[in-house]
Amino acid sequence: MTTWTERAATRPITLSAPSGIDRAAHHRLDEAWLAAAWSHPTTRVFVVSGGQALVDDTPDGRTELVMTPAFEAPPTETHRYFLGTDEDGVRYFALQKDTLPGRMDQSARPAGLREAGSLLSERDAGLLVHAVALENWQRLHRFCSRCGERTVIAAAGHIRRCPACGAEHYPRTDPAVIMLVTDDLDRALLGRQVHWPEGRFSTLAGFVEPGESIEQAVIREVAEEAGVPVGEVEYVASQPWPFPSSLMLGFMARATSSTIQVDGEEIHEARWFSRDELRTAIESGEVLPPSGISIAARLIELWYGEPLPRG
Q: Which residue, of 148, 169, 190, is where some domain finishes?
A: 169
Give residue 59's region: left, alpha or beta (phi > 0; psi -120 to 50). alpha
Return the SS3 of 134. Answer: helix
Tell me: do 125 and 152 sit in the same domain.
yes
Please report whether residue 156 resides in a domain: yes
Tell me: do 158 and 187 sit in the same domain.
no
Domains identified in the chain, total number: 2
Backbone angles phi, psi at 296, to 5 degrees: -60, -45
- 36-71 as b/e: b if 16+ CB within 10 A: ebbeeeebbbbbbbbbbbbbbeeeeeebbbbbbebe
Tell me: do 197 and 64 sit in the same domain.
no
Tell me: do 26 and 165 sit in the same domain.
yes
Tell me: do 43 and 133 sit in the same domain.
yes
Instruction: Please give the residue range of the domain that contains residue 243.
Output: 173-304
Block mean pLDDT (10 aa), the chain, length 311:
80 85 97 96 96 93 94 84 97 95 76 93 96 95 96 96 97 96 98 94 97 98 97 96 94 98 94 98 96 93 92 68
Distances in whole angstroms, Cα of residue 27 to Cα of each of 20, 82, 92, 296: 17, 9, 13, 35
All residues at 6 or more sequence positions from 24 whose CB lies less than 8 Å from its CB, including other chains: 82, 84, 85
Question: Which of 239, 113, 107, 263 has its CA nearest to residue 173?
Answer: 239
Tell me: do 125 and 77 sit in the same domain.
yes
- Helix crossing, 275-284 with 295-304: angle to 10°? 130
pLDDT of 103: 62
Please report whether residue 211 resides in a domain: yes
pLDDT of 216: 98
- 10 Å CB burial of residue 285 (0-12, 13-18, 19+) is exposed
pLDDT of 114: 92
Please report whether residue 10 resides in a domain: no
pLDDT of 10: 80
pLDDT of 35: 95
pLDDT of 107: 81
Q: Which residue, of 169, 197, 219, is where some domain finishes?
A: 169
Q: Which residue, of 152, 169, 186, is where some domain finishes?
A: 169
pLDDT of 77: 67
CATH number, domain at 215?
Answer: 3.90.79.10
CATH number, domain at 59?
Answer: 3.90.79.20
